[in-house]
Structure 1
């Protein structure tokens, strides 16, 4: 037996309720600033009632249910209620268009949609194209409608009877998270009970979460980060979560203090946004001891954040498919946050070339993660055997990301395989050029791409956002790069922009930048 055993989300929650019934499990602040709390017992009561309400609607084990909600208590209640009856949560981005939602709902064959009044028109306009949807439930719904079910009313009328619940196992799929689909149609990543529990155990031990910690969640719950690293870390330890409906850069540490958050999780873009806001010394007086983060930020930004807010930053690497974090900087060892760390508990990581052979130290190769499908890595892609075969090979998950291993044994992210720039026979990592550009004090953020070039295969183009009230010319930045990069890595052109197209967690969508270039 491994650390997961035969546990499920259902049995895990039951266990924690038996130990911590009266302890606060969720402290939530909505978009209007109103705060509410739920104890373990109160949350569990809502989960049992919603489970029975869903069974009354004929939601069966194995059915897919689309959740189209902002961060709120209802999202979490739905997630665990579905897991209790063996149904599968399909969480989605509330900013997704009608066309994007039509694809996900139809591909997943979802039988139920749970959303809010603000978003319902988007679905009513395409309802004829969603033949599998049987019901629409609205949360925080104050009105009545014959065609729309009220989340609160369903719970009020439901029982807490558990005798109707089907048998569930640790290997059952309980979540399906769709990839961002930057190069193709989004893929449904199947996540099991075991996956969720494993990543909770892994992360809680890697960052030393205890039952006294409160994980501060400002990233969207539909994303793996908030589910895997924060919610599950809190649950397996009997801790708690502080949840905000929306991320606010100016109020991040104020909200953490108000809600009692002790461990945060961010991406590079939100960190930069926080640093760009006005700073007062009172912001140092916050309860956050650690912020884990993904995606690179400049060395001076790491130092500034840690000094201003008196908390540790911990750079890590993972993706929806790896479920857990296969690479992370050591909390109590030497943190080298310009790297993505070293292999974490339970994972083996190697770098491979295009033939699948392991590369030597210092050589760039694709990150491959060894794991057990459905336990330590994703089970598979839903209805996509070819993509599953390409990604899961002989017990290894191929990430599509390039890195190198330094002499210090730490892994250093290079770039997405598809983002490597081919220039005059040389490979140029966009991330290396971006790292140099962000060293310039006038540069807030940048993105580098390859563009077609008749002479050199590809030319290097940089898009740059400047810091407020600062200026620099294209020529000055190119000269800055020439002093720090080999000649073939220096950008050919630089375009100044106000912002970038981004994914919901702030990742720059380079495919959109590429499509904006006239050829």
Structure 2
């Protein structure tokens, strides 16, 4: 398999040539053909160029799922600009950090977060804010120099000039992910990283359905576009495959099932909580899930029990593929082939992608024997360029062209990989990656707190739930609700601990290091004995 070098703009242009008047995006009551999506992106690029956005400049997108998100990505990269993926759930502290880390001067945001953005703007480099509204009614008043999206794209006077872009070297997007320091860091993904990822997903999962006339070329896009899984594996892959993307702002079980019943989509990309939620929905078997050709589950392994139950809802020729990916790999790295699915495994490496399990020995890192736990390392054409302005973390993660994932697993004799633990202590709750260190740093700002440990504990629905263990300073007191309220003010909602446990002391090693693993083992034992 050989992948041609090209920019994301060339990916879009190629899609327009092949699928010109077919529906590309559908959002609420509107739809756009591939050609119309290209035209809006071009208008946006021209307007941004006239406002001074140049190659290498950063523009933050802080939107929920919507068609404008896709137009914005293509508009920015058309100029050689760099998209900054900004979670619309970020509170001011998180937002200010990311904007300062990227020195973004432009932002496209939703009206619901506009005032939040304005409050942090004086502490950042932001100069121009473009606001998206989903209704024609202008229910907020913008500050001077800011504009509504629809007004802004009509300010252009002429088409933006051609910008020379090196697909393999020039950064298209910064995807923020957690770090060992507790500070979020920007994964630098090039144009070619995205092109490679779309080609690999297409080759591995979708190619055989290209000429299938028995299914609708439709996908429901509800995975967050600000997350690499949604943007790269679902949306960008669509511009290679040529399916219609029905965009939903979020996953709501009943809404999604009604869309499935009406549209009979060809593919379904989701995370374990979504599969579990559908399983428990009344009369789920009446919504036509058997028409979907491929169900793809990412973010975290799908429980065996869930797979077994969900399989009964699928068609005879349908299959469910579990996979493994990271932001650093532009989403996908390993997946189960439909020809030989292994339940419990995340599969085999995608085409052109390599993976192995390594262990520390007296001679350094060596490849582990079959079924022996070690750290999973991966490499491939979708591997990131590095971390934005962070050579130290880049050096830790990338060694001799391999990404050291920090995830613990093993490989069987057939080359299938299994995830057993996370070296990084990362929590995956409801499909979101959560880094305990960041939550701990917030809890430590509470004056009464002496020590804190945050871990993820098993949760039947969300995968994991965030729990904080806290010891208090002598003669100090605080209520559980007060801790949660403080966290809500300083963390995005999905990061806020749902459980708080006060203790007289927390487990420590002989050198005084707080031991998360011991608490996790206690929780697992407690759940087992329930």
Q: Who is 1:358 aligned against?
A: 367
Instruction: Describe how 1:206-285 pairs up with structure 2 within 5 A.
Output: 206-209=204-207, 210=210, 213-284=217-288
With over 3 angstroms needed to count, the CA separation of the structure-2 counterparts of 1:314 and 1:204, relative to structure 1, is same
Q: Deviations over 1:108-161 (max 9, x none)?
A: 11011111211111112222111x111111012743533421110122333562
Counterparts of 1:113 and 1:176 in 2: how far apart (Å)?
14
Q: Who is 2:165 aligned against?
A: 168
Counterparts of 2:308 and 2:493 in 1: how far apart (Å)?
22
Q: Who is 1:435 aligned against?
A: none
Q: Deviations over 1:219-272 (max 9, x none)?
A: 100000011111122112233322111111223232234355321111112222
- Deviation, structure 1 residue 296: 2.1
Q: Deviations over 1:265-312 (max 9, x none)?
A: 111122222222222432135642211112123222102112124442
Instruction: Tell me if the contact between 2:228 and 2:331 (Cα under 8 Å) persists in the aligned partners.
Output: no
- Deviation, structure 1 residue 369: 0.7
Q: Secondary structure at the match of 2:189?
A: strand
With over 3 angstroms needed to count, the CA separation of the structure-2 counterparts of 1:70 and 1:303, relative to structure 1, is same
2:307 to 298, 302, 311: 302
CA-based RMSD: 3.1
Instruction: Tell me if the contact between 2:222 and 2:248 (Cα under 8 Å) persists in the aligned partners.
Output: yes
- Deviation, structure 1 residue 340: 0.7
Matched, 1:9 2:8: yes
Matched, 1:339 2:345: yes
Segment of structure 1 superposing worse, 316-325 or 73-82: 316-325
With over 3 angstroms needed to count, the CA separation of the structure-2 counterparts of 1:239 and 1:463, relative to structure 1, is closer
Counterparts of 1:462 and 1:109 in 2: how far apart (Å)?
33
With over 3 angstroms needed to count, the CA separation of the structure-2 counterparts of 1:74 and 1:307, relative to structure 1, is same
Q: Who is 1:427 aligned against?
A: none
Instruction: Describe how 1:198-209 pairs up with structure 2 within 5 A.
Output: 198-209=196-207
Unaligned runs of 5+ in 1: 30-34, 421-429, 432-446, 450-458, 468-500
Unaligned runs of 5+ in 2: 429-433, 437-452, 462-486, 507-530
Instruction: Tell me if the contact between 1:314 and 1:337 (Cα under 8 Å) persists in the aligned partners.
Output: no
Q: Who is 2:38 aligned against?
A: 44
Q: Secondary structure at the match of 1:308?
A: coil
1:194 to 186, 192, 195: 192
- Deviation, structure 1 residue 343: 1.8
Instruction: Tell me if the contact between 1:253 and 1:286 (Cα under 8 Å) persists in the aligned partners.
Output: no
Counterparts of 1:322 and 1:174 in 2: how far apart (Å)?
14
Q: Who is 2:442 aligned against?
A: none
Counterparts of 1:105 and 1:174 in 2: how far apart (Å)?
17
Q: Who is 2:334 aligned against?
A: 327
- Deviation, structure 1 residue 37: 1.0
Counterparts of 2:85 and 2:174 in 1: how far apart (Å)?
7
Q: Secondary structure at the match of 1:353?
A: strand
Tell me the matched-pair count: 438
Instruction: Describe how 1:460-499 pairs up with structure 2 within 5 A.
Output: 463=457, 465=459
With over 3 angstroms needed to count, the CA separation of the structure-2 counterparts of 1:237 and 1:366, relative to structure 1, is same
Counterparts of 2:276 and 2:244 in 1: how far apart (Å)?
27
Q: Secondary structure at the match of 1:383?
A: coil
Q: Who is 1:138 aligned against?
A: 131
- Deviation, structure 1 residue 517: 5.6
Instruction: Tell me if the contact between 1:45 and 1:160 (Cα under 8 Å) persists in the aligned partners.
Output: no
- Deviation, structure 1 residue 60: 0.7
Instruction: Describe how 1:86-165 pairs up with structure 2 within 5 A.
Output: 86-130=80-124, 132-140=125-133, 142-143=137-138, 145=142, 146-158=144-156, 161-162=159-160, 164-165=161-162
With over 3 angstroms needed to count, the CA separation of the structure-2 counterparts of 1:411 and 1:508, relative to structure 1, is farther
- Deviation, structure 1 residue 324: 4.8
- Deviation, structure 1 residue 513: 7.7
Q: Deviations over 1:452-500 (max 9, x none)?
A: xxxxxxx9x9946578xxxxxxxxxxxxxxxxxxxxxxxxxxxxxxxxx
Instruction: Tell me if the contact between 2:260 and 2:287 (Cα under 8 Å) persists in the aligned partners.
Output: no
Q: Secondary structure at the match of 1:136?
A: strand
Matched, 1:414 2:420: yes
TM-score, with structure 2 as normaliser: 0.76
Q: Secondary structure at the match of 1:157?
A: coil
Counterparts of 2:16 and 2:354 in 1: how far apart (Å)?
34
TM-score, with structure 1 as normaliser: 0.78
- Deviation, structure 1 residue 352: 0.7
Q: Who is 2:395 aligned against?
A: 389
Q: Who is 1:494 aligned against?
A: none
Q: Deviations over 1:47-75 (max 9, x none)?
A: 11000010111011100101000000100
Q: Secondary structure at the match of 2:312?
A: helix
- Deviation, structure 1 residue 182: 8.2
Matched, 1:291 2:300: no
